[in-house]
Amino acid sequence: MNDVSRSFRGNSNAARDIAHHLHPYTNFKKHEASGPLTIVRGRGVYVMDDDGKEYIEGMAGLWSAALGFSNERLATVAYEQMKQLPFYHAFNQRSHEPAINLAEKLKSMAPVEMSKVFFANSGSEANDTVVKMVWYMNNALGRPLKKKIVSRIKGYHGVTVAAASLTGLPNNHRSFDLPIGGILHTSCPHYYRFGVAGESEEQFATRCAEELEQLIIKEGGAEQVAAMIAEPVMGAGGVIVPPKGYYEKIQAVCKKYDMLFIADEVICGFGRTGNVWGCQTMNIKPDILTCAKALSASFLPISAVMVNDKVYQALMSESDKIGTWGHGFTYSGHPVAAAVALEAQKIYDEIDLFGHAKRMTPIFQKHLQSFADHPLVGEAMGVGMVGALEIVADKNTKAGFDLATVGAGTRVSNHAQERGLFVRNMGDRVAICPPLIINETELADLFGRLRQSFDATLADLKSEGHFKG
């Protein structure tokens, strides 16, 4: 039975969803016509819909379910914490043990020395918090003009007002009247798409750094530009791994203009890139680090902002002058979420999840790179346990298909779903980011289904006259 018929069946989940539920990242008109795919349970790397069909979750939900979709220990910890202290806040010098323990644990794990940890509930809230921290800090230091923050084209930092402004994707700005003022966007470090003929990857990285410096100078230099934020590996922008040397060159520019460097580890953190942090993989030394998603294995919503002592001292000074740091959330460091996140970190250590991910990395990357010779694939890019395949109409020219009329990436995603596999296409870049617990047999199954999906898409495009290769 197809989705259209399911969606209008009496009092079904689909019918009620259409009637009552407003979804994120959704074409509402299309949703009214076809309805949702309703997921009812999970087991390891698999999830099941309400018709009983099982899928390999090849995106770990949303880049996040490191331990997959079932874990009795986390469920038990949540239940026990619910019984002991189901909620308390951290305002006005109140605290509780789960938040204290988790902050201590995160500091011990940080890729560089950090001073304090602030908790929020999502990556968006964490990155919104960072914007306010940067502004607050520079007011504290008597630098009222030093407020501009640099992000990157195709960067993704969330969807709240300031975070969506940092995000460098058109659909997060269009019709929302974003970005807000003071947010700048510099070059996307995607060599395959933006390198020029005859330019080496190192030369491309140098050009990116030069373009950053030109932007900073244009926008007022050290007097006005305060910080740069970057994902070590760009996620929702297409799984873009910058070329070697890029971050060394970028950080040198930031240091020259006395700018903070903010690492958005919401996707990259907790083993995804082959190390605990993407900063370690990409040689980044951040002043501020944000994390979420795999912080709790996504079993409960929680995020964190870690700041170094330079940042903390400025925040402390200004909060004393004003009388408070007037920022925070009711659920900052929520005791149940914090307890679950701390237990997730214990599980990661006990089962050596990061070591397992590192051992699976060459297997994952070998499967990924095996698609490089597929007629539809222009680029196979990845690091650690995350990757993407870019679909092109012509390998030689790198010309793509028309997104609106052909939608090749959407076709691959749909064919994969038919075959019991969830992947995610960002336009014609297809991302793969499975739970870190995935094993070698499951990886082979995942990529086998993905190969079938690319082959089915190729057959469609040939039959419709879209592909001549």
pLDDT, average across residues 248-255: 98
User: Model confidence over 410-440: pLDDT tens digits?
Assistant: 999 999 999 999 999 999 999 999 999 999 9
Helix axes 335-350, 353-369, angle to 10 degrees: 70
* Sequence ranges of the domains in the chain: 37-70+353-463, 73-350
Q: Tell me: pLDDT of 315 over 60.
A: yes
What would the two tokens of residue 33 be?
A: 């016509």
pLDDT at 469: 76
Q: Where are the alpha helices (DSSP H) in 284-427?
A: 309-322, 335-350, 353-369, 408-418
Is 120 within 8 Å of 328 (Cβ atoms)? no
228: DSSP letter:
E
Is 18 within 8 Å of 411 (Cβ atoms)? no
Q: Which helix (H) or strand (E) holds 434?
A: none
- The one-letter code for the residue type at 379 is E
pLDDT, average across residues 54-58: 98
Question: Which of 110, 66, 104 lies closest to 333, judged by CA?
Answer: 104
Q: How are beta strands 225-230 and 260-264 bridged, if at all?
A: parallel
User: Model confidence over 205-246: pLDDT tens digits?
Assistant: 999 999 999 999 999 999 999 999 999 999 999 999 999 999
* Full-model pTM: 0.95
User: Model confidence over 134-186: pLDDT tens digits?
Assistant: 999 999 999 999 999 999 999 999 999 999 999 999 999 999 999 999 999 99
User: Model confidence over 375-398: pLDDT tens digits?
Assistant: 999 999 999 999 999 999 999 999
Task: Looking at the structure, give the CATH architecture of the domain made up of residues 73-350.
Answer: 3-Layer(aba) Sandwich (3.40)
The residues pairing with 264 across neighbouring beta strands, listed in sequence order, are 290
Place of tokens 């079938």: 452
Length of the chain: 469
Q: How confident is the model at residue 5 (pLDDT cuts 50, 70, 90)?
A: very low
pLDDT at 468: 83
pLDDT at 11: 84
Task: Quote the CA–CA distance of 362 and 341 in Å, as a whole number.
Answer: 28
Q: How confident is the model at residue 367 (pLDDT cuts 50, 70, 90)?
A: very high
pLDDT at 144: 97
High-pLDDT (> 90) share of the chain, %: 97
Number of H helices, E strands in the chain: 17, 15
DSSP assignments along 64-87, one per residue: T-TTTT--HHHHHHHHHHHHH-S-
Task: Quote the CA–CA distance of 427 and 409 in Å, as a whole number.
Answer: 6
Q: Beta-carbon neighbour count of residue 104 at 10 Å?
A: 12
Is 434 within 8 Å of 239 (Cβ atoms)? no
CB neighbour class for 114 (10 Å; exposed up to 12, middle 13-18, buried from 19):
buried
Query: CA–CA distance from 405 to each of 400, 410, 411 (Å)?
Result: 12, 11, 11
Place of tokens 């640099």: 150
Helix axes 201-218, 246-256, angle to 10 degrees: 20
Helix axes 72-84, 335-350, angle to 10 degrees: 150
Task: Quote the CA–CA distance of 406 and 355 in Å, as a whole number.
Answer: 41
- Mean pLDDT is lowest, of 5-9, 46-50, 158-162, 204-208, for 5-9
Task: Quote the CA–CA distance of 391 and 401 in Å, as a whole number.
Answer: 8
**Does residue 25 come out as left (phi exceeding 0), alpha (psi in the -120 to 50 range) or beta?**
left
User: Model confidence over 263-288: pLDDT tens digits?
Assistant: 999 999 999 999 999 999 999 999 99
What would the two tokens of residue 443 be?
A: 């990886």
Q: Tell me: pLDDT of 3 over 60.
A: no
In three-state secondary structure terms, 263 is strand
Q: Where are the alpha helices (DSSP H) in 85-194?
A: 97-109, 123-140, 161-166, 191-194
Is 37 within 8 Å of 57 (Cβ atoms)? no
294: DSSP letter:
G
Task: Quote the CA–CA distance of 127 and 118 in Å, as a whole number.
Answer: 11
φ, ψ at 79 (rounded to 5°): -65, -45
Is 254 within 8 Å of 261 (Cβ atoms)? yes
Q: Tell me: pLDDT of 7 over 70.
A: no
Is 141 within 8 Å of 310 (Cβ atoms)? no
- The one-letter code for the residue type at 404 is A
Place of tokens 């043990």: 97
Q: Where are the alpha helices (DSSP H) in 219-306?
A: 246-256, 278-282
Mean pLDDT in the chain?
96
pLDDT at 8: 56
240: DSSP letter:
B
pLDDT at 36: 96
pLDDT at 9: 60
Strands in 429-432's sheet, in edge-to-edge order, are 377-383, 386-391, 429-432, 424-426
What would the two tokens of residue 165 be?
A: 């402004």
pLDDT at 6: 46
pLDDT at 4: 41
Q: Beta-carbon neighbour count of residue 134 at 10 Å?
A: 25
Task: Quote the CA–CA distance of 288 and 27 in Å, as a whole number.
Answer: 35
User: Model confidence over 68-120: pLDDT tens digits?
Assistant: 999 999 999 999 999 999 999 999 999 999 999 999 999 999 999 999 999 99
Question: Which fold, 37-70+353-463?
Answer: Aspartate Aminotransferase, domain 1 (3.90.1150)
Query: CA–CA distance from 428 to each of 177, 379, 436 (Å)?
Result: 26, 11, 25
